[in-house]
């Protein structure tokens, strides 16, 4: 007898893991995107030191979401991977380059500029690939009898290129507001200077995506326009977050720009969820149809219920220990 709706519980857990990854790894990817444009090498040292204590722990959420997705919804993997092999490869390759650059840049002398580019390039490629994968999810996948039957490059379209650029702009905004919160002096002033242009870029790209999306998929169009009184609350909340970012940057607040930017990402993410719910493999398969056996989900869920609190506690502890400003010349390596 099935006492709980385990696919629904797993969908919530995986969705939580995804948004945690986007928020917590997004800002250090954003720092990498901004890396080539930093005022000088000392500023780059400070930028990297601001994320050095937390970047690897942030990726725990990516592992948690990916592993949970395989365990709870194996059909998603069987369709997503053939459809998105190249995009996922670019994402992982970018994360690898970025991670290696973190460790080697601090030791390098004559080759430091190469690791600067590896850090920036890896962050940029990983961010763009994430956005393109999200765009491919919005588009949907061509399937037959639970098998992907599309081409290897079907994920790469003008729409997914735009969502990739939107993710780049969004992560760069997260990175600049993180630097506002974590740095001071000239670097902080530089971050203040670039935040509003980045906010404008995010709003423009997200606006184009919002207008384009109903024409990409008929189901999304019907969902949006048949539930206007509910769904359009989310764009309003997104706009309010953008206004708060503008006001807090104008007033030279330290922490509020970053908090408001996280709010902007959360409302956008909720808009994506509402647009596609309950389809985990759009446009055909719901989360119940794609779920693994009830017994398998229950067994894995019992273990995960112990893991998640531990991850939350050590994540919170890490951010508490390394709270405050990061100053030039200070570091953790």
Of 227 and 195, the one with more pLDDT: 195
For residues 114-118, average pLDDT: 87
User: Judging by beta carbons within 10 Å of its beta carbon (0-12, 13-18, 19+), is residue 44 exposed, middle or buried?
Assistant: buried
Residue 286: how many CA atoms within 13 Å on its side-chain side? 6
Q: Is the pLDDT of residue 140 over 80?
A: no
Per-residue pLDDT at 44: 87
Q: Which of 69-73, 125-129, 184-188, 279-283 has the highest mean pLDDT?
A: 125-129
For residues 219-226, average pLDDT: 72
At residue 1 the predicted structure's pLDDT band, cuts being 50, 70 and 90, is very low
Q: How far apart are CA 169 and CA 205, in angstroms?
A: 8
Mean pLDDT over each residue of the chain, to the nearest integer: 83
Q: Are 97 and 121 in contact (CB under 8 A)?
A: yes
For residues 216-245, average pLDDT: 78
Q: Are 241 and 173 in contact (CB under 8 A)?
A: no
Q: How far apart are CA 67 and CA 73, in angstroms?
A: 10
Q: Is the pLDDT of residue 165 over 80?
A: yes
For 237-294, write each residue's pLDDT tens digit: 889 999 999 999 999 988 899 999 999 988 888 877 777 777 777 767 788 877 778 8
How is the chain split into domains, by residue range?
A: 6-159+179-321
Q: Are 198 and 172 in contact (CB under 8 A)?
A: yes
At residue 195 the predicted structure's pLDDT band, cuts being 50, 70 and 90, is very high
For residues 303-311, average pLDDT: 83
Q: How far apart are CA 140 and CA 283, in angstroms?
A: 6
For residues 122-126, average pLDDT: 92
Q: Are 168 and 131 in contact (CB under 8 A)?
A: yes
Q: How far apart are CA 164 and CA 162, in angstroms?
A: 5
Q: Are 204 and 166 in contact (CB under 8 A)?
A: no
For residues 214-227, average pLDDT: 73
For residues 178-199, average pLDDT: 91
At residue 177 the predicted structure's pLDDT band, cuts being 50, 70 and 90, is very high
Long-range contacts of 104-107 (CB under 8 A, 24+ apart): 105/48, 106/48, 106/331, 106/333
Q: Which of 142-146, 204-208, 327-331 has the highest mean pLDDT?
A: 204-208
- Reported pTM: 0.89
Neighbours of 271 (CB within 10 A): 21
For residues 200-209, average pLDDT: 90
At residue 178 the predicted structure's pLDDT band, cuts being 50, 70 and 90, is very high
Polymer length of the chain = 333
For 7-41, write each residue's pLDDT tens digit: 788 888 878 878 888 888 888 899 999 998 988 88
């Amino acid at each position: 007898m099935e006492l709980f709706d385990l696919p629904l519980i797993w969908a919530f857990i995986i969705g939580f893991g995804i948004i945690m990854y986007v928020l917590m790894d997004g800002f250090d990817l954003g720092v990498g995107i901004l890396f080539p444009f930093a005022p000088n090498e000392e500023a780059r040292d400070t930028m990297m030191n601001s994320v050095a204590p937390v970047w690897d722990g942030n990726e725990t959420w990516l592992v948690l979401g990916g592993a949970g997705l395989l365990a709870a919804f194996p059909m998603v993997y069987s369709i997503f991977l053939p459809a998105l092999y190249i995009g996922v490869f670019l994402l992982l390759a970018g994360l690898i380059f970025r991670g290696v650059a973190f460790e080697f840049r601090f030791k390098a002398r004559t080759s430091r500029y190469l690791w600067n580019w590896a850090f920036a390039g890896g962050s940029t490629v990983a961010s763009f690939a994430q956005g393109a994968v999200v765009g491919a999810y919005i588009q949907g996948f061509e399937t037959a009898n639970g098998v992907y039957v599309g081409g290897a490059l079907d994920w790469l379209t003008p729409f997914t290129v735009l969502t990739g650029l939107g993710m780049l702009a969004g992560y760069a905004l997260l990175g600049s507001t993180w630097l506002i919160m974590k740095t001071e002096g000239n670097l902080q002033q530089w971050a203040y200077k670039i935040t509003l242009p980045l906010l404008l870029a995010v709003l423009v790209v997200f606006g184009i995506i919002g207008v384009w999306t109903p024409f990409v998929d008929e189901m999304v169009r019907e969902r949006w326009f048949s539930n206007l009184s509910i769904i359009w609350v989310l764009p309003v909340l997104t706009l309010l977050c953008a206004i708060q970012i503008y006001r807090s940057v104008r007033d030279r607040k330290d922490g509020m720009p970053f908090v408001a930017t996280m709010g902007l990402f959360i409302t956008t993410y909720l808009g994506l969820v509402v647009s596609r719910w309950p389809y985990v493999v759009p446009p055909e398969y719901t989360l119940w149809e794609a779920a693994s056996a009830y017994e398998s989900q229950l067994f894995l869920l019992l273990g995960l219920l112990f893991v998640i609190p531990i991850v939350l506690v050590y994540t919170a502890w890490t951010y508490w220990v390394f709270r405050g400003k990061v100053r030039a010349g200070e570091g953790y390596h």
